[in-house]
Amino acid sequence: MRLLFLGDMVGKSGRTAVWEQLPGLISDFRLDFVIVNGENAAGGFGITEDIFQTTLASGADVVTTGNHVWDQREALTFAAREDRFLRPANYPKGTPGRGSGVYMARNGARVLVANIMGRVFMHPELDDPFTSADREVAACPLGEQADAAIFDFHAEATSEKMCFGHFLDGRVSLVVGTHTHQPTADHQILNGGTAYITDAGMCGDYDSSLGMEKEEPLSRFLSKVPKGRFEAARGPATICGVGVDISDRTGLAERIAPFRRGPRLEETAPSFWN
């Protein structure tokens, strides 16, 4: 199975780049499954139902989120009826929406996708992510109820992300970090066969501060006084993520490589997709 995961869409620039490029990527690379993190898609804060639906229409199979999931209040309503919209699974019982699901890939594979949020330096502090992940894997084991298993771990601390990857190694296909918006260079296949990267990066304008216009955050660092609101940067976006080939026999990863396309970062795509 051939999978593309794209990191956090930030604002109009980021979501438009994904919408415009994703249909061609699916066709050119013969992608079986696509996951996009959409938690910053609406002006950098949350996601609306229209944005969610347009992301699906562009070819995404599932949209994951994170700590900004409820910034647009309408998400509390549509999360309950949209099974391809995921909020972190470790929210308390009774929170609207769902944290995981099993979906059919274009090649017929059953794909478990789970969205988990870390707790180190994160707000709100949710239930234990490791216990939550264990529960998700036990409910849908790889090789039994799922042919592939993808975990979007939305977290700040690199140590927590790496330990989360090792915790799930050999039991899932991919652990991909989101939230920090900077693509890391540590993509690898762990000892047990799970593909891992600490952060997939963002889909947004990299002439910015984490996808936001840089003047206001820079001013706050210098003066310690807010002078305005954070606004999503509006320049040309680079889309970032990872491509993974997953064994149809074991459900574990065979190859992983970064994917970057846009005007500022060095462009790269998995060479094994040629």
Catalytic residues: 68
What whole-number distance in Å separates Cα of residue 63 and Cα of residue 56? Answer: 8
Q: What are 132's two structure tokens? A: 């939550």
Q: What are 188's two structure tokens? A: 């690898």
What whole-number distance in Å separates Cα of residue 74 and Cα of residue 91? Answer: 18
What whole-number distance in Å separates Cα of residue 142 and Cα of residue 122? Answer: 29
Q: Which run of H or E residues covers position 244?
A: strand 239-246
What whole-number distance in Å separates Cα of residue 258 and Cα of residue 134? Answer: 27
Residues 249/193, Cβ–Cβ less than 8 Å: no
